[in-house]
Structure 1
Amino acid sequence: MQRRIVSLWFPRLASDRILRAQPTEAPFAVTHHEKNSERLYCVNSFARQQGLVEGMGLCDAKVLCPELRTQAADLLADQRFLQMLLRWSNRYCPWVGADGADGLMLDVTGSTHLFGGEAEMLFDLHERLAQFGLTVFSGLAATKGAAWAVSHYSKGVVAEGGLKAALSSMPVQALRLDEATCITLQRLGLRSIGDVLATPRATLGRRFGLELLRHVDQAFGDQAEQINPQAPEVYYAVRLTFPDPIGFFDDVMAGLKRLLEHLCLKLKKHEQGMRSLRLTCQRVDQVSAQAELRLARPMHDSARILPLFERSVGEIDAGYGIDQLRLEAFDLEPLPLQQVEVSTTPKPSGDALNDLITRLGSRIGLDKIVRFLPADSHVPERSFVVAPAAYCEAEGEWREGLVRPLRLFAPEPVLGKDKMPPKTFCWRGMRLALGRATGPERIAPEWWLDDPNWRSGLRDYWRVETRQGRRLWMFFTPQSPAWFVQGEFA
């Protein structure tokens, strides 16, 4: 059985993606910053009728078409949209791969008869994509290179054994050559693929190297070229459609509960946990309202997640009613199943703390909730690190026997040059008198670290209690006699 390849080219992928949600009959273009200026990245058919083309400067386009509407390009969104089309194309064959940023390749060998033939399958494909509001050009041939050439410079189906007749009249650009090679070929009078075939291979090889010959051989099947399908991604999203619109808080939470149960069941099956969820409420007036939830820990427990959604769901404006709910999971992390231990003494669980962090994070942001973690250093400033509580575990042990103040700040000088704590001193505009002092605790600098705050050498730390009630952490520097206050106890 001869191999059959379909090439799909979406020349207006970026503009079609945007116009599917915001249809218009006016000239529209997607812009992209290139060469220190805004240029047209993709234009719709109405803009093309006004003489606008890709690569044109935005200022020049506005002069030609003052009513032009524009929107900035989102390359990541275009890539996700192409991936969605790739998954959709699996209805025609199981072997589908991406072809650049605006095309797909389908190996339909042995599957065209399921649609009544090759022409019938292409007709069905075009009809469905047209209903999606997409512009597509297709080509079907025995090789990947030939299918690409037909989709970009012709149309239809190339019959078996008809590659040479179909490709000979096409320009040399149909061989997927770079622009410089195409210009050189045209200057030599080789404007079509037929002209290239009529030229001796030895001459082409000496002048252009093996790259040109490789593209020719791939187009005519003399050299194999594979389609690289992407492994199907597991998409964690569920949807619920209602026969009648809903709008009450309890109704939305009941629907969300059903969605969470299905979503968490799928996550448990693949041993995955989610850190972010997005609930999209589609209203009857075609306006979407969203509620997002970021979790402090990866989870797949619907009973724990549902109460955390209450605040976000309560802020949703139902409008004239909601007729569809969609729940998506993002930021997935492995969450393997754990062995259940039978023990009479229950182990402490951090679920309550994680839920509290999630609730607070939904108000002020997860990144603003931090925890202190012990670090392997005897220098006070380096004995701990501050990390977001949602993205780290409480690990490590604090050193026992080391008394440290609750508040630690940059050293603040006070008057005094004696090695014993001063009897009276001024600090932050207050005159304080010594009540009791405990120490010293000598700390040496870490010579392997270049810390400008510790270049002065040794420090003798004292715990000082003043008669005014202040409990300070002070140190004395023997090498250059001076006193400093660095912390305050509770």
Structure 2
Amino acid sequence: MRRIVSLWLPQWPIDRYNRANNNTQQAETVFALTETAQQTQRLYAVGPHARALGLTAGMTLAEARAIHPPILTDAANPAADAAALEALARYLVRYTPLVALDSRDGILMDVTGCPHLFGGEQAMLADIKNRLARAGITACAAMAETVGAAWALARYKTDNRAGSIIDKGTSLAAISPLPVRALRLDDATSLMLNRLGLKTIGNISELPRAALARRFRGNPAKAVTELLERLDQAIGRRDEPINPLTPLPEWQVKQAFMEPAQHLEQVELALAALVDDLCLVLAEGERGARRLRLDAYRVDGTVQSLLVGLTRPSRDKAHMLRLFNEKLAGLEAGFGFDLLTLSALESERLMPAQVGDLRQEEAHSTALLMDRLAARLGPGAVLRLRHNASHLPERAQTVTTQGSRTLDADELGWDHCPTTTAPRPLRLLPRPEPVDVLSAVPEGAPRSFRWRRVEHRVVRAEGPERIANEWWTQADDRTRDYYRVEVTGGSRFWLFRRGLYAVPGVRGGESELPDWFLHGFFA
């Protein structure tokens, strides 16, 4: 049975402002946040005392001061409200990985299969509300089998202090007394329904669907379709998925503390146990971790995360702990951590390795070194070469970061890498540079060439080595003939002629005047 929790934060901008400014006096004063729209100051959010006086969001500041002149105000910050709401949603991942934002003042959670971990549905909902209350956040919560029913109960049920929980199959009965606006309809549709005498969800559910279309004027198709869709979603006739804020981890283990952990030594011990548990479940699935994330949940409602990447899929416990130990000093416990979660964000199949295979041992030690360098310097600071299926020298290899999932030569095996019998230069230019060449015959080796205003006389040449264009790509590359040349000073260069001479009456020519380029240097 699917279980959805809807959280509504009716005073979120005010609560966020008080938390950010450590303000505990606003609860006893008439306070409001304002915003400027069309050169007019309006109330963006109001506190409980201001709401009791009849002040509402959207009212102009002049009207508010006419009702209560000594009102205190400050400028609203919608961007900070949105960022803090997202941070709060990430903190609630401690209950379920399926957490999503719901407009600018709500959070949705799919807790299917999770309540028993917290003592049952009632205990779980109470724990959520208590944590938010201790953080100074006013929240209304509801748990139902559909998103629509939970949303409606959280926002429109009059007595919802302890949270509403409805069982399977009772969604329609629970939301029937609620106003039609609880179906998440727009203002125009809600107003039209009220004018037609359909003021509650129960009034709509009792009518035949064909009768609803006749009651709408103008263009009823869109309004009726939206109304019926929302009703079906609320009572469970139509599925409504939740788009989680963060992708679901492939594997995850947790460690909760009876008392908040305030010292890194406690975190290190708990992390070692988490790594053992994670490697155990990975071994059962014959998988190896590629990216790991440690989330530390603080008692003040914030989350700190540490991310490490591995070059090769691994279940090496000691190596994982060494990577995390490089970053543990960056954690700030504050008043303490009450939960740690270790997630394998990416994993790959880990095949058994032959004991005593020197090549595998060398590759493994190299991967360990790269992982430790990346953990200390950052993943973008450690680069490696990746072999490509191309015979063109500048495309045969590319540079990729340490955390890339692309397969390198070691993972594919050297037999799968592009090979050639012709020697290659020690240094390859990023881009071939044009040169002026003098050759004895049009298709022969160069006799001399000018590069960067310096004339070089060729005393020895080898070639050509022909590399044709890649017909399976859209690149406009002509056939290349490469030459290895040695000049009078002893330097050795790698030159190529791009293009073939067009011979009258013979097919296959590509250009009447091919171009020459310098591409690399030999030792």
Q: TM-score over 0.5 for the alignment?
A: yes
Are 1:102 and 2:107 counterparts?
A: yes
Residue of 267, 278, 282 corresponding to 2:278: 267
Equivalent position of 1:133 in the other structure: 136
Residue of 47, 67, 72 corresponding to 2:74: 67
Residue of 419, 426, 442 corresponding to 1:399: 419
Deviation at 1:364, TM superposition (A): 4.4
State how 1:68-467 maps to structure 2 within 5 Å. 68=75, 70=77, 71-74=80-83, 76-84=86-94, 101-103=106-108, 129-137=132-140, 149-156=152-159, 170-192=178-200, 203-208=211-216, 209=224, 212=227, 235-238=252-255, 252=264, 255=266, 257-271=268-282, 273=289, 275-278=291-294, 293-309=308-324, 311-312=326-327, 328-330=341-343, 332-335=345-348, 338-339=351-352, 341=354, 347-391=360-404, 392=406, 393-394=408-409, 395=412, 396-409=416-429, 410-419=432-441, 420-452=444-476, 454=477, 457-467=478-488
CA distance in 2, matches of 1:298, 1:466: 49
CA distance in 1, matches of 2:253, 2:51: 39
Q: Are the aligned partners of 2:275 and 2:317 in contact in 1 as well (CA < 8 Å)?
A: yes
Q: Are the aligned partners of 1:373 and 1:385 in contact in 2 as well (CA < 8 Å)?
A: yes
CA distance in 2, matches of 1:47, 1:241: 40
CA distance in 2, matches of 1:9, 1:348: 52
Q: Deviations over 1:177-198 (max 9, x none)?
A: 4433212123435445687689
SS of 1:67 mapped into structure 2: strand
The CA RMSD measured in Å over matched residues stands at 5.8
Q: Are the aligned partners of 1:276 and 1:329 in contact in 2 as well (CA < 8 Å)?
A: yes
| Inter-CA distance 342–326: structure 2 relative to 1 (3 Å threshold) | same
2:495 alignment partner AA: M
| Inter-CA distance 46–186: structure 2 relative to 1 (3 Å threshold) | same
Equivalent position of 2:220 in the other structure: none
SS of 1:261 mapped into structure 2: helix
Q: Deviations over 1:41-92 (max 9, x none)?
A: 977657868988667999x99xx9652353151364454345445689xxxx
Q: Deviations over 1:153-173 (max 9, x none)?
A: 34348999x999997875332
SS of 1:184 mapped into structure 2: helix
2:8 alignment partner AA: F
Deviation at 1:13, TM superposition (A): 8.2
1:273 alignment partner AA: A
| Inter-CA distance 224–422: structure 2 relative to 1 (3 Å threshold) | closer
Equivalent position of 2:506 in the other structure: none
Q: Are the aligned partners of 1:424 and 1:431 in contact in 2 as well (CA < 8 Å)?
A: yes
2:434 alignment partner AA: E
Q: Are the aligned partners of 1:99 and 1:105 in contact in 2 as well (CA < 8 Å)?
A: no
5+ residue gaps, structure 1: 89-95, 247-251
Q: Are the aligned partners of 2:8 and 2:154 in contact in 1 as well (CA < 8 Å)?
A: no
Q: Deviations over 1:76-135 (max 9, x none)?
A: 4454345445689xxxxxxx999885356899xxx9xx99xx9x9998986665335332
**TM-score normalised over the length of structure 1:** 0.66
Tell me which moved more, 291-300 or 428-437: 291-300
Equivalent position of 2:219 in the other structure: none
Q: Are the aligned partners of 2:306 and 2:327 in contact in 1 as well (CA < 8 Å)?
A: yes
Q: Deviations over 1:202-223 (max 9, x none)?
A: 643533557657877998x8x8
CA distance in 1, matches of 2:348, 2:335: 33
| Inter-CA distance 355–126: structure 2 relative to 1 (3 Å threshold) | closer
Deviation at 1:474, TM superposition (A): 0.9
CA distance in 2, matches of 1:474, 1:155: 82
| Inter-CA distance 340–148: structure 2 relative to 1 (3 Å threshold) | closer
Q: Are the aligned partners of 1:14 and 1:78 in contact in 2 as well (CA < 8 Å)?
A: no
| Inter-CA distance 364–466: structure 2 relative to 1 (3 Å threshold) | farther
| Inter-CA distance 136–431: structure 2 relative to 1 (3 Å threshold) | same
CA distance in 1, matches of 2:400, 2:259: 44
**% of aligned pairs identical?**
31
1:416 alignment partner AA: L
2:138 alignment partner AA: T
CA distance in 2, matches of 1:408, 1:46: 73
CA distance in 2, matches of 1:66, 1:122: 34
Tell me which moved more, 200-209 or 67-76: 200-209
Tell me which moved more, 352-361 or 233-242: 233-242
Deviation at 1:262, TM superposition (A): 0.8
Q: Are the aligned partners of 2:440 and 2:447 in contact in 1 as well (CA < 8 Å)?
A: no
Tell me which moved more, 65-74 or 390-399: 65-74
**TM-score normalised over the length of structure 2:** 0.63
Q: Are the aligned partners of 1:17 and 1:81 in contact in 2 as well (CA < 8 Å)?
A: no
CA distance in 2, matches of 1:346, 1:205: 73
Are 1:24 and 2:23 counterparts?
A: yes
Number of aligned residue pairs: give it: 451
CA distance in 2, matches of 1:67, 1:330: 41
